[in-house]
Amino acid sequence: MREKLMNALKEAMKSKEQRKITTIRMVQAAIKDLEIANRTKPDATTSDGDIASLLSKLVKQREESAKMYDEGGRPELAAQEREEIAIISEFMPKQLSEAEVTEIIKGIIAEIGASGIKDMGKCMALLKERYPGQLDFGKASGQIKALLS
């Protein structure tokens, strides 16, 4: 993942794509911050899964910002945020469809033998471990709750 980012940065610099350069550098800085934060943990490595989760968090932040800019009458800033979303999305793993997510959740529920809402945390933990950055965990949480109710 890091190598892919470095190569994309080099290409953007060669083609003088300023927005892409700035966005990739921002992503690299966020990854560096994540690595620094992970140093205090017993397992001090930052996996591609951690980076994928970080990327989805960055996209979500930009979506919220774009929405706020739209509501505030600043379409040029909203467009800038959307450009950043497109750039960051290039590096994210393939997003799972809603049907795929539902099937995965059903499989996890069966796997751990979840019987009620009390098992929701276990289901979410497995989802986050196995599919970092590949789905919206907020929506998945609602699906788990509905299936366990």
Domain spans of the chain, in order of start: 2-89, 98-148
In this prediction, residue 58 carries a pLDDT of: 93
- Helix (H) or strand (E) run with residue 13 in it: helix 2-14
SS3 134: coil
Position 141, amino acid: S
Indicate the pTM of the whole model.
0.73
Q: Which of 118, 135, 119 is nearest to 127 (CA)?
A: 135
Q: Which of 120, 91, 94 is nearest to 108 (CA)?
A: 120
Fold of 2-89: Hypothetical Protein Yqey; Chain: A; domain1 (1.10.1510)
Q: How many residues does the chain have?
A: 149
Let me know if the fold of 2-89 is the same as that of 98-148.
no
Q: What is the DSSP letter of 135?
A: S
Most distant pair of Cα atoms in the chain: their distance = 56
SS3 10: helix
Fold of 98-148: Arc Repressor Mutant, subunit A (1.10.10)
10-residue stretch averages of pLDDT, the chain, 149 residues long: 89 93 94 87 76 88 95 94 93 85 89 85 87 82 86
